Amino acid sequence: MNEINIEAEKKEILNRYKMLLKASKRRLEKGDKELIRKAFEVAVDAHKEMRRKSGEPYIYHPIAVAQICAEEIGLGTTSIVCALLHDTVEDTDITLDDIKGMFGEKEAKIIDGLTKIAGVFDQTSSLQAENFRKMMLTLSDDVRVILIKLADRLHNMRTLESMKREKQIKIASETLYLYAPLAHRLGLNAIKTELEDLGLKYTNTESYDDIALKLKESEPERKKFITKFIEPIKEILQEQGFKSRIYGRPKSIFSIYNKIKHKSVEFEEIYDLFAIRIIIDTPFELEKTDCWRVYSIITDFYHPSPERLRDWISTPKANGYESLHTTVMGPDGKWVEVQIRTKRMDEIAEMGYAAHWKYKDSGDNKEGQLEDWLRKIRELLESPEENAMDFIDDFKLNLFAEEIFVFTPSGEMRTLPFGATALDFAFDIHTKVGQHCIGAKVNHKLVPLSYQIKGGDQIEILTSNKQTPKEDWISFVTTAKAKSKIKHALKEAHRAVAEEGREILERKFYKQKLEFTVQNIHEFAHFLKLPNTQELFYRVAKDAIDLKSIKDFVKFKAHPEKYAAHKAEQHVAPTLEKLVTDARGKSDLLVIGDDMQKLDYKLSTCCTPIPGDDVFGFITVGEGIKIHRVNCPNAVQLLSNYAYRVVKAKWNSQHLISFLAGIKIKGTDELGLVNNITKVISTQYNVNMRSINFDTDGGVFEGTIMVYVHSTEHLTQLITKLKKVNGVQNVVRLDG
């Protein structure tokens, strides 16, 4: 190992510090320099014994992170101070209280946020997800936490060379998976691009090197072309009095790689390896006009492709991106993308909206698209998923999604991810609107909740106070917000049922002269081998706990020693073997278990299965096997909590026995509609109808019909017929 030259290192540390000051100079106000100096000294002292994997003094890292914050994100003094100190609480003896004492509450809070989310490296994937969620939670306090974290990650990626191979892959994958999309969403384009390129370099070195080499080889030719393209325009722009900068901007290696991979093209076939960027210096109020004037000049000279005009100036992207893009036919018959924007727009595009507007350390509270996005995240975090991995998946879905713009009836524009449905839109308007949503009108036409909205749609949401979120809604919403709100509401509903059960149980206990104490309730749940008291209450409400079990429990409490363990077993689900001996060959409609035996069973009332449905058997306490549909609202809970009590079940053969099934019909209220529907059901299909129920609201009707059918096939035929009735928009089978 080389002798370490302490003096030279000290000099280098000071050098780097001076560079940092220079980078932040633009924003420094009175007293700021002293604060940065203090943070620098505290950090140097705290990290003095530490070295990075590369052997360099550790302090190089926090200085570099602060430098990125100042220079590449454009953050102010508070962020620079926090970046310098970002690893002190995590890795040294300095505490949050020390930071609070030396700097202040605000700084301590940001560093707390950065500390909680540190150590993402050596964790299992779910812990990583948990950490990421924590990071997003801190975002609701202060977006600077995320920005500093991104700077931290960027520096770690830039210095990844000295890490072990397996760590490189791990960190690089995580960067591609989470941090690059996050940077994109925050509008930090330059950082996003670099994170992606570095991510690719370490996860797919071969492709990265290959593309980098080809880019380099083709560079002289490209440069020549760009000069040829630019020259005439430059002249005209000058004549017209524009102060402008024009240059060729190469595509990132990562995006070229993606294009090759997803469009199955060769490097040589990619025509848009670069874009021409025109940046004009013009006052704010002339921005739009001037950009279009430049567009007009360009297209006078080069012929534009009509399909490839993108106006991100009239409608900026949610991350704040503003620019005018067009693709024109350049010299030598080559298509060239031209991006036109102002200096201000370019700064936002490269450094991010966040830094530009909100966090100049001046408390400037300008409302904008970024605020909108942050608000959405905050709402999402208010009802977080219990499972952190789910959260990440939902969240990522929304990070990557392309945006579409739609309108409310009053003409207000909303941004939603591509693939969003009418129900997503309802939840985007307001949680309550989503929860009570019964239908939607898109461009004045009635559509189902699952309708996938398209850019430019004008959407009116129909609500009813009686409506509550349904289990199947989960299957057709795509936004993380709607998903988590629905799950939350369903959980609440379960809780409400349990609450009812609690009261019923209290009365039952009272009748048995049993005290309704926490202790007794817990013991009773334990006696019945239930996982928790909530489950107990829920079952009581659903009438699944009989009086006998309470009586037995009373006996057990009086003489626990006499109440042998085997007695308690009768409250536990019996084994399949026992059921086989008890009920051999009682029914031949269903075959059950791995050996597909004929056993006695009951059809569950929660989802009323009929032959043809995908089903499973569930061994209940005291009621034998109950058959549920695989998509029964209770199935997920049963399958995940009591997997050992689930048995296979299959319909044996089609018998002409009638089963009760529910149908839900939606449509527009038209004359004679109900008559036509009942006609289809009774005369044409010879199906027995048990009940029919129609509701009309604002020209939209909703009906529930209970019918007796023989099989799913039979039911499907009926539904198909019903869909053809005039005015009917949607016919579905009821779930529960």
Residues that bind Mn ion (CB under 5 A): 87, 152
Cβ closer to Mn ion: 17 or 58?
A: 58
Cβ closer to Mn ion: 87 or 702?
A: 87
Length of the chain: 736
Q: Measured at the alpha carbon of residue 166, what is the angle toward residues 165 and 169, in degrees to the nearest 5? A: 90
| Min separation Cβ 32 and Mn ion, Å | 23
Largest CA distance in the chain: 104
Cβ closer to Mn ion: 195 or 276?
A: 195
Contact between 458 and 442 under an 8 Å Cβ cutoff? The reply is yes
Cβ closer to Mn ion: 119 or 455?
A: 119
Position 234, amino acid: K
The residue sitting closest to Mn ion, measured at its beta carbon, is 152
Q: Measured at the alpha carbon of residue 641, what is the angle toward residues 538 and 582, in degrees to the nearest 5? A: 85
| Min separation Cβ 199 and Mn ion, Å | 18
Look up residue 575 and give its two tokens: 């084994």
196 is known as an active-site residue: no
Cβ closer to Mn ion: 87 or 196?
A: 87
Task: Please measure the distance between the N-terminal and C-terminal CA atoms of the chain and give it in whole angstroms.
Answer: 72
Other CB atoms within 10 Å distance of the CB of residue 395: 24
Q: Measured at the alpha carbon of residue 309, what is the angle toward residues 305 and 311, in degrees to the nearest 5? A: 165
DSSP state at residue 458: B
Give all strands (DSSP E) within 590-635, no chain letters. Answer: 590-592, 601-603, 615-619, 625-629
Spatial separation of the C-alpha atoms in residues 181 and 203, rounded to whole Å: 16
Cβ closer to Mn ion: 152 or 174?
A: 152
Cβ closer to Mn ion: 62 or 624?
A: 62
Cβ closer to Mn ion: 72 or 87?
A: 87
DSSP state at residue 161: G
91 is known as an active-site residue: yes
| Min separation Cβ 354 and Mn ion, Å | 20
| 399: Cβ contacts below 8 Å, ≥ 6 apart | 181, 182, 184, 185
User: Which residue in 12, 56, 71, 91 is the catalytic one?
Assistant: 91
| Min separation Cβ 379 and Mn ion, Å | 30
- Cα Rg of the chain, angstroms: 33
Contact between 298 and 308 under an 8 Å Cβ cutoff? The reply is no
Position 705, amino acid: I
| Min separation Cβ 95 and Mn ion, Å | 18
| Min separation Cβ 26 and Mn ion, Å | 25
Contact between 83 and 65 under an 8 Å Cβ cutoff? The reply is yes
CA distances 567 to 5, 122, 310, 528, 572, Å, are 79, 49, 74, 11, 10
3-state secondary structure 296-364: HHHHHHCEECHHHCEECCCCCCCCCCCCEEEEEECHHHCEEEEEEEEHHHHHHHHHCHHHHHHCCCCCC
| Min separation Cβ 49 and Mn ion, Å | 17
| 639: Cβ contacts below 8 Å, ≥ 6 apart | 616, 646
Q: Count Cα atoms within 13 angstroms, Cβ side, for 614.
A: 4
| Min separation Cβ 27 and Mn ion, Å | 22
CA dihedral 633, 635, 640, 644 (to 10 degrees): 150
Look up residue 506 and give its two tokens: 């209290």
| Min separation Cβ 618 and Mn ion, Å | 51
| Min separation Cβ 500 and Mn ion, Å | 52
Spatial separation of the C-alpha atoms in residues 109 and 239, rounded to whole Å: 53
Cβ closer to Mn ion: 87 or 142?
A: 87
Look up residue 79 and give its two tokens: 């962020």
Cβ closer to Mn ion: 107 or 152?
A: 152
Cβ closer to Mn ion: 152 or 290?
A: 152
Contacts for 383-386 with beta carbons within 8 Å, 24 or more apart? Answer: 383/484, 383/485, 383/488, 384/133, 384/137, 384/484, 385/484, 385/487
Residue 507, class by beta-carbon neighbours within 10 Å (0-12 exposed, 13-18 middle, 19+ buried)? exposed
User: Which residue in 12, 56, 71, 90 is the catalytic one?
Assistant: 90
DSSP state at residue 564: -
| Min separation Cβ 117 and Mn ion, Å | 11
Spatial separation of the C-alpha atoms in residues 638 and 634, rounded to whole Å: 6
Just list the catalytic residues.
Answer: 90-91
